[in-house]
Amino acid sequence: MQTLQSPRVWLDAATQIFFSLSLAFGGHIALASYNPPRNDCEKDAVTIALINSMTSLYASIAVFSVLGFKAANDYGHCLDRNILSLTNEFDFPDQSISRDEYAAVLTHLNATQPERLAQLHLESCRLQDFLDKSASGTGLAFIVFTEAILHMPGAPAWAVLFFAMLFTLGLSSMFGNIEGVITPLLDMGVLPRWVPKEILTGTVCLLCFLVATCFTLQSGNYWLEIFDKYAASLNLIIFAFFEVIGVVYVYGMERFCDDIEWMTGRRPGLYWRVTWKVISPLLLLTIFVAYIIFLVWTTLSYKAWNPQYKQFPSRQEKSYPGWVQAICGLLSFLPALLVPGVAMAQLPIWRRRKQENVQQNMCLKLQDSKVSDSEVR
């Protein structure tokens, strides 16, 4: 319950849903623009959500099975080391102490020869401790999983399958993300029509590659953690909040429902209306406020690999320098500021068009009045 009360946990959960469903990235909107106008978007939304949930459930079973295998394997090696120390110290016959008998033997020796036993400095072997040492992010993919695969039967085959899965997963993720960038650029007419789409795609991919080279430096893993924590989480929630508010309260719920009825042939039910109008904005706003409070009351820190740390190879927690905290703040809020920034930039254009429409209407009225006067004469 203490973990569930942390806003960071809920923010990570919301971010995971945003990443797995590609919400607020623009990829769904970009790919949906290629659908026919009367596509059943409601069925697509429900199907994608169900498939995503089932895929996440299936992946979690595989992930936690591997983590459990690694924890059990490390726990067994820890017992073997302690058993070897006891065998050498107390001259037990080889292989006379099994893993199942270790706890009983240790209890007996602790009661009969505690001083001699204390000099061995045996490791603390608890299965729960090894289960709690699980990592996340790059540590899970490239450290924990690779170490677990090494101890599996047929390790080379599992290693090839695992890294092929990572490669294809990265490609499939980038297809949607890049499409969310390229499609708006094409629709806005940034480049002339005669420029092939392949040129624009290659240029965008090259820029992404150049930006990502900072992750290959010696400090690349730390920069990756900064971008992972602060570049996407908060901005995705803000973008999604503005999207919901813009569609429901600016464009209008009734107009949006009319559009869906025209596309699917049926009007959205009460569940969809309540979700769009109340539940989704309220949840997003709650997570956003909680995360802001969390940032204010906590010190931004990271876990560093420090060989001089007393508990190495465990990572030492350090506070970010001031200039890194400034970068974290910019990554958290600068992309979201584009929403009001673009709105302010479009405001003069909207006013000018409105004045032009008013002038055109006045000219049409004057022309109509002249025509009517001429007809009367």
Q: Which residues are annotated as a binding site for Na(+)?
A: 20, 52, 169, 173
C-alpha span between 253 and 274 (Å, rounded): 11
C-alpha span between 144 and 221 (Å, rounded): 16
C-alpha span between 37 and 264 (Å, rounded): 10
C-alpha span between 98 and 148 (Å, rounded): 23
Q: Which two tokens stand for residue 147?
A: 């170490």
CB 21 within 8 A of CB 52: yes
Query: Cis link prior to 307 (omega < 30° from 0)?
Result: no
Handedness of CA 215, 173, 148, 100 (dihedral sign): positive
Angle made by CA atoms 117, 121, 123, in degrees to the nearest 5: 115
Q: Give start and end residues of each alpha helix (H) in the chain.
A: 7-21, 27-32, 41-90, 102-112, 114-118, 127-132, 138-139, 145-150, 155-188, 197-212, 220-226, 233-245, 253-264, 270-274, 280-297, 322-376
User: CA neighbours within 13 Å on the CB side: how many for 15?
Assistant: 16
**Which distant-in-sequence residues (6+ apart) come within 8 Å of 18 by Cβ?**
24, 25, 232, 236, 237, 240
Give the annotated binding-site residues.
Answer: 20, 52, 169, 173
Residue type, 115: E
Strand partners, 303: 317
End-to-end CA distance of the chain: 86
For residue 124, CA distances in Å to 58, 93, 129, 177, 286 come to 33, 23, 9, 46, 42
Handedness of CA 245, 48, 257, 34 (dihedral sign): positive
Q: Which two tokens stand for residue 306?
A: 């420090």
